[in-house]
Structure 1
Amino acid sequence: MQKKYTYKYGKGKVNFTIDASLITDELYIKEYPVLPNPAEAVREAIHNPIGAKPLREIVKPGETVVFIVNDTTRVANSHIFMPILLDELNCAGIPDQDMWIVFALGTHRQMTEEEMIGEVGSSVAQRVKMYNSDCRDEGQFRYFGTTSYGTPVYFNNKVVAADHIICTGSVVHHFFAGFGGGRKAMLPGVAHYETVRKNHSLMLDANAVIGKLDGNPIYHDQVEGTEMCRPSFMINVVLNEKKEFLRVFAGDYIEAHLECCKFVNDVYGVPVEREADLVIASCGGYPKDINVYQLQKTMDNAWCAVREGGVVIILGECAEGSGSVTYEKTMQKYTTPEQVEAAVRADFQIGAHKAYAVTRLMKKAHFILVSSMPPELARLLLFTPARDMEEAMEIAVNKLGSPQPRIILMPMGSITVPLVHK
């Protein structure tokens, strides 16, 4: 029997029909009740933090505070908790003029004024100054030392100038750093390019994998670097696919984050009995599919659910294309996953690392991409482009050589982590 499915795509949706008898699993994150009053949950978290004193007891009148806030590529609902944090600090004797925001861009593009306002809300934007962190502008950064992994640590001057640093953000699994959130607001969030480049080069280590912190060199290096300019407080949120609040964690940026990660693993990890011939995954729409840079997270999750030699269809609009000029230039020079890996190992660069992250997955399965990108760009990146789901299914069936493949559906591909039973 044919069944209709509707998955998110960019700021819209895509409809497609599949024989329901072929579907072995449709993976969703665990059903978990949403917080009825997120604002109250935020207040509760900052008044009863994990591993730290309440925020009001940490700061003193006359001191300054900087907030590190997510950019447009990571949804945290910052507009909900930022007004509460400002009000809380006002009560502690810190006026608005002694607080400011730096957006954790890492190596991403600069945000526009409109985007900044969109992230924190117009009321917050009117109260405090907001800044981008431009990783390639050396004049914006101060050197703190070198980690035991060889990473030179530079943080943004606007961040280190404050008496107190408050890290904010959301937490999901991360394909090589284990989990997002926590220390990542600092490194890579507001770090210099060379700091990020050296840290991310550790992704070539076999322990730099999704869902792993203990023993993961990326994580340990990030923490070691962040300890050189230790944040005073952290607030991390966990959202569901609808961007609704599930939990709020606040306190010490290490301890509270670890508790948050345990919760994330329980919510987003989905048991799977057997790998599929074909996986169909939506990134979950904008901004998760704004470019291939972000879409790759969905690829990693889908990769966990597909068998060796199988096929993955990714639904991702990619309105901003690849998301990296360096990534594209790398793919213009190298035409196979093996060539890309050899090049990245010889000279690790941000952007080129994304070429490695994407193409290494293609050693296991064939990736078909339904997007708005020009077909020639998709092919350059070693995807098979498809205009729509109908064409994608036709390509997949031909590639598999079977009209009845076992199919796993992943409507929340960017946040759903398949845990295949071995």
Structure 2
Amino acid sequence: MAVFNVPYYKGEMEIELPDKNLKDVLISKAADYKTNFKEEEIVEKALDNPIGSKSLEELVKGKKSMVIITSDHTRPVPSKITLPILLNRIRKANPNINIKILIAAGFHRPTTREEMIDKFGEEIVQKEEIICHKSKDKEELLKVGVLPSGGELWINKLAAEAELLISEGFIEPHFFAGFSGGRKSILPGIAGAETIMANHCSEFINNENSRTGKLKENPIHEDMLYAAKTAKLAFILNVALDKNKKIIGAFAGDSELAHNKGCEFVSKFYGVSGTKSDIVITTNGGYPLDQNIYQAVKGMTAGEVLSREDGVIIMIASCCDGHGGESFYKNVSSAKNPSELLNRVLKVSRKETVPDQWEFQILARILNKHKVIIVTDMCDPKIIEDMHMYHARDFKKALELAFEIVGKDGKITLIPDGVSSIVKTK
């Protein structure tokens, strides 16, 4: 038996795989990337050498106020490292500038105070002015343009009226935007609900270019770029992370050019390739991304690439926060089967997109061709089963169930961190 430790919640889960069945283990170069620099040094060096932009210090000079956009509780951005560095540099250059920190919650629920302390540290939460974006609150939004796709661009009023707007975040493969980071801090990060839904419409989600690692001719990405430029996102600090969520790369400067450099880095170190298997095992990289089924769909798309039709995807994710979206859950659970749901969604026009539609569309696409088993001891099994998936409390039971479905000789591919891998077929 081959033994592996894969990410699960805030730790790891040990799994055993029969040698005769194990076909491939796909680990990106980022997992074992070594650097001689401390995380803080990597960030400082990036800020000392901005890409396509004036330095942060030059940008803040003479400004009375500014807004820093940061990620919410669902993203493993190491803000305890990055935010203090940003704040220190800004205040050294302009001690009297008024700084507001805006949490890019997108369409997610608001970040709690406890989650803020966990993410930013108690000192920042106590001393800084932090606002959580609410995409459904029209009074907090301002229309600033029309997206290339035709949807109205509504963004947070604080950001729209900011004298200087910058953002911090991280870059990883994204299952329909190509990559996270950069322009995503605006759309969907601080955009209005109707703007998010127009951008995440079924037509775009169904586009073959709206996939992991793809930016060229990706209609979702093109809308996001327009939103960032229209919002005047002047500067970004984005990092790349290893399997332990440690910083291995940082990219600062122009919101498009610096992001492109970061995407090049991620493409180089996060790419893996394999051939189709009967069983594909994957994860969502542990907490915070594995905290609900909604987010776990991202890791499932990695398994989707290499799972044969009617094969099994074993998704190891705590889902400690349940389904992660009421509309997401209700649409999937109320459908007769995934095929019915997928056919219905594909008929929905751009302007009639409903909350969480993009997520249940992708899940339905996966479930229409593959069986999914979620391994967790932290989620109500009924939620999982209601959503046309199988539940296993531990990995051993999941593997037994998978062999029942595909046969005892089924070949296995393991992708230890699906959410941080750009998976391609050989």
In the alignment, which residue of structure 1 is the partner of 2:139?
139
Structure 1 contact 276–408 (Cα < 8 Å) conserved: yes
- Contact 1:63–1:94 (CA under 8 A) maintained in structure 2: no
Match of 1:109 in 2: 109
The corresponding residue for 2:353 is 348
Instruction: Indicate conservation of the 8 Å contact 1:234/1:251, yes or no.
Output: yes
Distance (Å, rounded) in 2 between the aligned partners of 1:225 and 1:339: 34
Instruction: Give the deviation of 1:94 after TM superposition.
Output: 4.1
More moved, 370-379 vs 65-74: 370-379
Distance 1:129 1:329 in 2: 36
Q: Say whether 1:256 aligns with 2:258.
A: yes
- Corresponding position of 1:412: 417
- Aligned residue for 2:309, secondary structure, equals strand
Tell me the distance in 2 between the aligned counterparts of 1:258 and 1:51. Answer: 11
Provide the residue aligned with 1:71 in structure 2. 72
Partner of 2:406: 400
Equivalent in the alignment of 1:282 = 283
- Greater displacement, 261-270 / 20-29: 20-29
Matched residue, 1:381: 387
> Residue deviations 1:200-242, cap 9 Å, x none?
1122323211111110000001111222111110010000110
Identity of aligned residues (%): 32
Deviations 1:19-77 (A, max 9, x none): 12321211212032145222122222112111101111112234211111011111110
Of residues 374, 377, 388 in structure 2, which corresponds to 1:369?
374
C-alpha contact (below 8 Å) 2:179/2:214 kept by paired residues = yes
Task: Confirm whether residue 326 of structure 1 aligns to residue 327 of structure 2.
Answer: yes
SS at match of 1:232: strand
Identify the residue that residue 19 of structure 1 maps to in structure 2: 18
Counterpart residue number, 2:362: 357
| Structure 1 stretch displaced more, 290-299 or 9-18 | 9-18
Map residues 128-167 of structure 1 onto 2, 5 A cutoff: 128-167=128-167
- Counterpart of 1:247 in 2: which secondary structure? strand
Q: Specify every segment of 5 or more residues in structure 2 that has no aligned partner in the other structure, as ranges.
A: none
Q: Is the 8 A contact 1:34 1:245 kept in 2?
A: no
Is 1:101–1:130's contact at 8 Å kept on the other side of the alignment? yes
Aligned pair count?
Answer: 417
Is contact 1:56-1:89 (8 Å) kept? yes
* Alpha-carbon distance in structure 1 between the residues aligned to 2:55 and 2:221: 26
Aligned to 2:27: 28
Deviation of 1:112 after TM superposition, in Å, equals 1.2
**CA deviation after TM superposition for structure 1 residue 299, in Å:** 0.1
CA contact (8 A) 1:35 1:247 kept: no
Cα drift, residue 308 of structure 1? 2.1
Determine the structure 2 residue equivalent to 1:37: 38
Q: Deviations over 1:374-416 (max 9, x none)?
A: 2221122111112222221111111112x12211112212212
- Correspondences of 1:155-234 after superposition (within 5 Å): 155-201=155-201, 202-234=204-236
More displaced 10-residue stretch of structure 1: 7-16 or 349-358: 7-16
Amino acid in structure 1 at the alignment position of 2:248: L
Shift, 1:182, TM fit: 0.5
Task: Summarize deviations over 1:165-202 as a string: whole Å, max 9, x none.
Answer: 11110011111111110000011000110010101112
Q: Tell me if the contact between 2:338 and 2:367 (Cα under 8 Å) persists in the aligned partners.
A: yes
Runs of at least 5 residues in structure 1 that lack an aligned partner in the other structure:
none
1:5 positional shift: 2.8
Q: Distance in 1 between matches of 2:389 and 2:174?
A: 22
TM-score normalised by the chain length of structure 1: 0.95
> Given the superposition, is the C-alpha separation of residues 86 and 12 from structure 1 closer, same or farther in structure 2, using an over 3 Å criterion?
closer
SS across alignment from 2:165? strand
Residue number in structure 1 paired with 2:8: 9
Q: Which amino acid aligns with 2:387?
A: L
Q: Look up the equivalent residue of 2:242 and give its one-letter code.
A: N
Write the distance in 2 (CA, Å) between the matches of 1:360 and 1:338.
Answer: 8
Counterparts of 1:7 and 1:363, CA distance in 2: 27
Specify whether residues 398 and 384 from structure 1 end up closer, same or farther in structure 2 by C-alpha distance, changes over 3 A only: same
- RMSD over aligned CA atoms reads 1.6
Q: Which moved more, 1:18-27 or 1:188-197?
A: 18-27
The superposition leaves residues 231-278 of structure 1 with CA deviations (integer Å, 9 ceiling, x where unpaired) of 110010000110111110000000110111011111111122x22111
Q: Please report the TM-score for the alignment, with normalisation by the length of structure 2.
A: 0.94
